[in-house]
Amino acid sequence: MTPPDPEPTTDSVRIAVAIPCYNEAAAIATVVESFRSVLPSAEILVVDNNSTDGTGAIARGLGVRVIDVAEQGKGHAVRAAFASLANQDVVLLTDGDGTYPAECAPLLLSPVLEGTADMTVGARQPAPGAGAMTMTRGIGNLLIRSAFRILIGPGNTDLLSGYRAFGRRFRTEVALRSSGFEIETELAGEAAARGLRVVEIPVPYHPRIAGTTSKLRAFRDGRRILTTIVLLGIRLRPIRLILIGALPLTVLGATVHPAFAALALAYAVAVLGLRRTGMRRV
């Protein structure tokens, strides 16, 4: 990979790096210093999500701004970061475990700064043999992408990447709701449904820095992510969801028994009812 320019910014453009953290004391200093080296003019914000290992104190000792978020979950941390950085032109989101290379930050920032993307996504390319991504997670990612494509539509290939950059348009138009690791799926769903411009850029994906542990639980969080996709489909793509269920029932009603047609109507009404319920919760 050709090394990008040191920092794609000017004095008139404000860039921030948001780092949601929960117990990343072993890695946070390395992560902060690496992004500080690549983006010396950017504001670095560490979002401490109830860490008990001193992550926040370490970050403060490095001279970066730290905000504390009491509501547990990555979604809460990301939403707090967006609110705190509302005056920035571009917000770069990364994890605090050292899995995403800071040297790729300019590649993610450039399309947003050039006005060709509202969100860029670092599509993870696990280092061969390094164990950065387990087989279970790889299979889970495939299932999630399939569900997303059916219920919402084509999206970026790496729906769960935590390495992204956002322009003002994205952060202004999208009102996030997620509380946990389903936040990345919501970001992708909102972009697809609203026609926001997304550019995906391959980036290396490294093993976590020694001393840190993953907070994601494959089956628990996988279930939450799939539920989020269904709810996004109901709220943002109700016609697609109606066609998926009602169309085959209607065909059966015309060819087998009228009761199937009645079921198709009941299904469509149920989906629209769930959508109205979801809209009232905004």
Residue-level pLDDT at 215? 74
Residue-level pLDDT at 132? 55
Statement: residue 116 has pLDDT above 50: yes
pLDDT band, residue 260 (cuts 50/70/90): low
In a domain, 4, yes or no: no
What's the structural domain count of the chain? 2
DSSP 3-state of 155? coil
Which stretches within 127-182 are classed as H helix?
135-151, 168-173
In a domain, 214, yes or no: yes
The highest-confidence range among 11-20, 252-261, 272-281, by mean pLDDT, is 11-20
In whole angstroms, how far apart are CA 254 and each of 97, 211, 239, 263, 270? 56, 62, 21, 12, 21
In a domain, 249, yes or no: yes
Query: Does residue 197 sit in the same domain as residue 260?
Result: no
Residue-level pLDDT at 280? 44
Query: Does residue 171 sit in the same domain as residue 231?
Result: yes
Tokens describing residue 214: 């993953």
Which of 220, 235, 250 is where one domain is finished?
235
Query: Does residue 162 sit in the same domain as residue 30?
Result: yes
pLDDT band, residue 253 (cuts 50/70/90): low
In whole angstroms, how far apart are CA 266 and each of 76, 117, 263? 36, 40, 5
Supply the range of the domain harboring residue 106: 15-235
Query: Does residue 60 sit in the same domain as residue 95?
Result: yes
Identify the residue with better confidence: 81 or 218: 81
Query: Does residue 210 sit in the same domain as residue 263?
Result: no
In a domain, 70, yes or no: yes
Statement: residue 130 has pLDDT above 60: no
In a domain, 114, yes or no: yes
Query: Does residue 43 sit in the same domain as residue 131?
Result: yes
Query: Does residue 249 sit in the same domain as residue 226?
Result: no
Statement: residue 160 has pLDDT above 80: yes
Query: Does residue 41 sit in the same domain as residue 166?
Result: yes
| Average pLDDT of every residue of the chain | 85
In this predicted model, what pLDDT tens digit does every residue of 38-47 receive, in sequence order? 999 999 999 9
Statement: residue 155 has pLDDT above 80: no
In a domain, 63, yes or no: yes
In a domain, 7, yes or no: no
Query: Does residue 164 sit in the same domain as residue 273?
Result: no
Query: Does residue 222 sit in the same domain as residue 90?
Result: yes
For the segment 70-97, the average pLDDT, to the nearest whole number, is 97
DSSP 3-state of 157? coil
Backbone conformation region of residue 154, classed left if phi is above 0, alpha if psi is from -120 to 50, else beta: beta
pTM of the entire predicted model: 0.78
In a domain, 2, yes or no: no
CATH of the domain at 209: 3.90.550.10
